[in-house]
Structure 1
Amino acid sequence: MPSRNHLDKIGRKKKKKWTEEAMEHALIEVKSGRCTVRKAAKEFGVPKSSLGDRVSGRVTPGSRSGPAQLIPSSDEKLLVEFSLYMSKHGFPLTKQQLVSFASSIYKRQHRRVAFSKLGQTWWLNFRKRQEKNISIQPADSVVRGRTVHVRKEALDHFFHLLSSVVQAHALGDKPHHIWNCNEMGFQMARKRAVLPKAASLGYKSTPGSKDYISVLACLNAAGTDIPPFIVYSKAYPGGVCYKTQGPSDALYGWSDSGFVTSELFKKWFLRHFLVHAPKERPLLLVFDGHKSPVNLEVVEVARKDGIILVCLPPHCSHILQPLDTGLFPLIKQRFAALLNEMHATDATLFAVSKKDFSGVFRGAYQVAKEDEGIRIVQESFRKCGICPVSHFPFNEAHLMSSHSVDPEAEGPLSTSAQHVVGGLTAPGL
C-alpha cells in the first residue's frame, strides 16, 4: 500500500509547470495561424507535444492529464456534498465509510466488476483533490460504558444542531413532524429463552448467541407510530404465519446477525417509512446512526423528499433516545408478562419459537397504541429535550472532560471552512 509521502514524491516529480490558461492561449494562437506549434509552445511555456496533441485533436482541450479518474468529477462532487451534509447533521464520515460509499458509486458504474478498485491510492488522491472542500479531524475515542460517561461538548453541539434545525424549518409546535426510530433486540439463547435487550442501530450481536430478532420501531413526539420492522437472524421462519400473526402492516426482513444492516435500513426507509409517514413536509427523523446503517441512497432520497436526518451523539442514546428511555422498557415488561402467562406451568420461562415471536410481540407492542404508551412516548420526547427542544442539565456523574479522550489517526470528514467538533454544525442547515 503506497504511503502519503510516496505519492507526494511522485506528484512532485510529475507536477506540470504550465497552466491550462497558458495552453488555451497557445492553442488560440496556433489555430489562428499567427504562430507555429513550436513558437507558441516556447512563447507560452507549454510542452510542444502536448500543444500538438490538442491542435491535432488527439487530446480534448481542458482534459486532465494522467490516467482517467475511477469516479467521474461530477460524482466525486456529489460525494463531497454528501459528506458535508452528513457532517452538518451529526453523521461525520470516517475514511472507511467514505471509501465504501465511493466504491458503491464505482460498482454502480461498472456493474460487471466484482470488486472496487478504490483503495489507499484513490483515498489519498481524493484528499488532495478536495483539500479545499473537506478536512480531516481527529475523532474522540470515547470510553465504553456509555451509562457512565457522556461528553458535555457532544451534548452541547447536538442541542445546538437540533435547535437550529427546528427553528429553520418551523417545527417547534409540530410534534407530529418530529420522529425517533430505534432498534430493540431479543436475544435467543441455546435453551430458546428470549431475553429482551435494547440495541442501537447497527450494533453487533453478542458472540455465541444462537438466534437474534430485532425490531425497528419509529414514533413521533405526538405518540403516533410507524408499523414496526421485525428482522430475523439467518432466515425467515417457515410458512407465513409469522406475518399473519404479527403487528398490522409490519415490515419483515432478515440478516445474518438479526440486526438492521445498511441495506435493511434502506428497505425500511424507502418502502416503509416514506409510505406510512405523514405527507406534509418537512419531517425530522432523529436516531442513533453512529454504527452507520445510513447509506448514500437514503440520504439522497431524504434530501429530495424533505426528510431531515439528525444523528444522536455517540454513547448518549440512554439519555437522548425517547424510545429507549420510555417505550421500550414498557414493551419489555408487557412481552415478559405475556410469556409468563403462556408458560406459567413450564420451568423454561420465556420459551418462544422464532415462528411464534411476531404473535407474542404483537400483544406487547399494542401498548404503544394505548393511552398509557402514547403518554409515555410524549413525556419521553419532552424529558430527552427533543420536543420541545430543551438543553436540560445533566448530572456531572454522566459527563467527562474532553481532556480525558485521545484522538485517533483518521477522524471524520467535516467542512474546512468551519471549526467543527464531531461534525455537528448549525450554519447552512
Structure 2
Amino acid sequence: MKQQEQMPSRNHLEKVGRKKKKKWTEEAMERALIEVKSRRCTVRQAAKQFGVPKSSLGDRVSGRVTPGSRSGPAQLITSSDEELLVEFSLYMSKHGFPLTKQQLVSFASSIYKRQHRRVAFSNLGQTWWLNFRKRQEKNISIQLADGIIRGRTVHVRKETVDHFFHLLETVVEAHALGDKPRQMWTCSEMDFHLARKRVLLHKSTPTSRDYISVLACFNAAGKDIPPFIVFSKAYPGGVCYKTQGPPHALYGWSDSGCVTSDLFKKWFLRHFLAYAPKERPLLLIFDGHKSPVNLEVVEAARKEDVLLLCLPPHCLHNLQPLDTGLCSLVKQRFSALLGDSNAANATLFAVTKKDFTGVFKEAYRVVEEDEGVKIVKESFKKCGIYPVSHFAANEACLLSPHSVDPTEGAASGQHVVRGLHAPGSSP
C-alpha cells in the first residue's frame, strides 16, 4: 500500500515562497565584471572574490543582461512612458475627471500594446498596478470615489458645481479666454430612437428598433462643427445616408449607437481638429463621464493647445448649453418634418436608418438660422459658461454638504487617481 504523502507545513511553504534578499552590491558586480573582461580572473574566481552570484556575473559577461540593469521582473512600460501616464492622470484629475483604477490600467495596457504590436496580450494585471502605485506614491494618491459621482443619485452636491466653476474660471483667466467666444466650445449627444411605425409612446417605454446618436459641437459665438452621426449595430446599406446627410458630417457606428471612447477619439482627431478655428488655445467642454476620454485624445489636445474640461455628472440639464435649448429645438423640427407636430416628448421616431440622415439634415438647418444661433448664445450665457458666471442652480437639483451620507462613496467600491498637488494649482 502506497504511503500517503504528508502535506507541507505552513512554515515550510512560507520559507520556500520567501523572496531571497540581495546580498551583493552593483559596485561589487562591476568590479568583478572588470576583472573577468580583463582576463585576470575567471567567472568563478571573480564571483568568489567579490561575493556576487556566479550565474548573474556570467549573464553580464555573455551580454544576456545589461550591466547596471535592475534585477527582478522587467518593467513592462518604459520609465518615460510611465511618467507620461502619471502626467496624464494628473491632467485628468485637474480637469474634472479623475481616472479609476480600471481606466488607468487600460491606458497603460494601450501603451504596452503600442510598443509590442506583435505580442498577444490583453491587459496589464494586478501586479503591475501594485508596483506602479509603489513607484509613484510621491506623485499620486488613490481615493475612494464619491458615491454621487458614481451615479448613485440623480442629484449632485453643490460642492461639485462649485468645483467645476472654479476649474472653468481658472482656465479662462489663465489663458485669457474671457472675451473670445469663438475659442470656447462644448459638445453633447442627441439621441433618436427609431420606431417601425409612427407612434407616440411614453418616455418609460423601453422598446425600439434602432438607436442613433448625434454628437453636436458649438462655440459660444453660435458656430458649429459638422455633426457626428453614430448608428447602432451597423451602417445602413449603401451610401445614400452620406449623400443625403448634412454637409461634411462624420459617421460611425457602435453596438449601442452611443459615442464610445474610440469614437470620441475618431471625432476629435479627424473632425474637431480639422474644422475648429486656427486661433489657440481652444477650450472644449464635454461630458467625459459618459464616454471617457483616452490617452491619444489628451496627447493630441496638448499638442494642438486644446484645453479639455469635463462637466460634472448629473448636471447636463443645468450646465450643458446644448442640452438646455438647441437639442430640444432640433428634435422638435425633426418631429415636425415627420408630421408629428406633437411629438416633442416622444422617444420613438418613425423613420428608417437609411432615411434618417436626410430628415435630420433638414431639421439641423436651424443651426444656421438666426433663431438657432441666438439660442446657442443665450444657452452659453444661461449656463454661466460664457461669460463665466457661477450658475445659481435650483436648490432642488443640488444637495447640501450635510445631506450626503459620508459612507456612500465607500459603498461604491470605486477608487480614483488624484495628484498630490495643491487644490488651487492651475490646470
Q: TM-score, normalised by structure 1?
A: 0.82
Contact 1:186 1:196 survives alignment (8 Å): no
CA distance in 1, matches of 2:322, 2:341: 27
Deviations 1:269-315 (A, max 9, x none): 11111111001111000000112341111111111011111111122
CA distance in 2, matches of 1:251, 1:213: 13
Shift, 1:23, TM fit: 6.2
Letter in 2 for 1:307: V
Contact 1:194 1:352 survives alignment (8 Å): no
Deviations 1:145-180 (A, max 9, x none): 86x511111111111111111111111100000000
CA distance in 1, matches of 2:200, 2:273: 31
CA distance in 2, matches of 1:397, 1:343: 29
Aligned to 2:125: 119
Deviations 1:330-384 (A, max 9, x none): 111111111116999xxxx942111111111111111111111111111111111
Shift, 1:114, TM fit: 3.8
Aligned to 2:310: 311
Shift, 1:32, TM fit: 10
Letter in 1 for 2:284: L
* Count of aligned residue pairs for this structure pair: 400
Task: Indicate how the Cα distance of structure 1 residues 23 and 156 shifts in structure 2: closer, same or farther if over 3 A, else same.
Answer: farther
Task: Indicate how the Cα distance of structure 1 residues 413 and 11 shifts in structure 2: closer, same or farther if over 3 A, else same.
Answer: farther
Aligned to 2:6: none
Letter in 2 for 1:172: G
CA distance in 1, matches of 2:268, 2:257: 18
Shift, 1:90, TM fit: 1.4
Helix, strand or coil at the partner of 2:361: helix
Whether 2:72 is the aligned partner of 1:66: answer yes
Letter in 2 for 1:126: F
Aligned to 1:294: 293
Aligned to 1:88: 94
Contact 2:186 2:219 survives alignment (8 Å): yes
Aligned to 2:390: 391
Shift, 1:81, TM fit: 1.5
Deviations 1:174-217 (A, max 9, x none): 000000001111012454759899xxxxxxxx975421011000
Task: Indicate how the Cα distance of structure 1 residues 49 and 217 shifts in structure 2: closer, same or farther if over 3 A, else same.
Answer: same
Which shows bigger deviation, 238-247 or 220-229? Answer: 238-247
Contact 1:183 1:214 survives alignment (8 Å): yes
Work out which of the two has the higher radius of gyration on C-alpha atoms and give 1 or 2.
2
CA distance in 2, matches of 1:243, 1:406: 45
CA distance in 1, matches of 2:387, 2:24: 58
Aligned to 1:246: 245
Aligned to 2:5: none
Letter in 2 for 1:59: V
Helix, strand or coil at the partner of 2:144: coil
Contact 1:99 1:118 survives alignment (8 Å): yes
Q: TM-score, normalised by structure 2?
A: 0.83
Contact 1:343 1:350 survives alignment (8 Å): no
Shift, 1:16, TM fit: 3.8
Percent identity reads 75
Shift, 1:38, TM fit: 6.3
CA distance in 2, matches of 1:134, 1:11: 31
CA distance in 1, matches of 2:16, 2:219: 54
CA distance in 2, matches of 1:412, 1:88: 12
Task: Indicate how the Cα distance of structure 1 residues 157 and 177 shifts in structure 2: closer, same or farther if over 3 A, else same.
Answer: same
Letter in 1 for 2:156: V
Aligned to 2:229: 230
Contact 2:142 2:415 survives alignment (8 Å): yes
Task: Indicate how the Cα distance of structure 1 residues 145 and 365 shifts in structure 2: closer, same or farther if over 3 A, else same.
Answer: farther
Task: Indicate how the Cα distance of structure 1 residues 39 and 269 shifts in structure 2: closer, same or farther if over 3 A, else same.
Answer: same
CA distance in 1, matches of 2:162, 2:267: 30
Helix, strand or coil at the partner of 1:381: helix
Task: Indicate how the Cα distance of structure 1 residues 19 and 153 shifts in structure 2: closer, same or farther if over 3 A, else same.
Answer: farther
Give the alignment of 1:402-417 within 5 angstroms.
Answer: 402=401, 403-404=404-405, 405-407=408-410, 408-415=412-419, 417=420
CA distance in 1, matches of 2:395, 2:255: 40
CA distance in 2, matches of 1:247, 1:211: 20
Task: Indicate how the Cα distance of structure 1 residues 170 and 23 shifts in structure 2: closer, same or farther if over 3 A, else same.
Answer: farther
Aligned to 1:3: none
Task: Indicate how the Cα distance of structure 1 residues 12 and 177 shifts in structure 2: closer, same or farther if over 3 A, else same.
Answer: farther
Contact 2:215 2:229 survives alignment (8 Å): yes
Task: Indicate how the Cα distance of structure 1 residues 13 and 301 shifts in structure 2: closer, same or farther if over 3 A, else same.
Answer: same
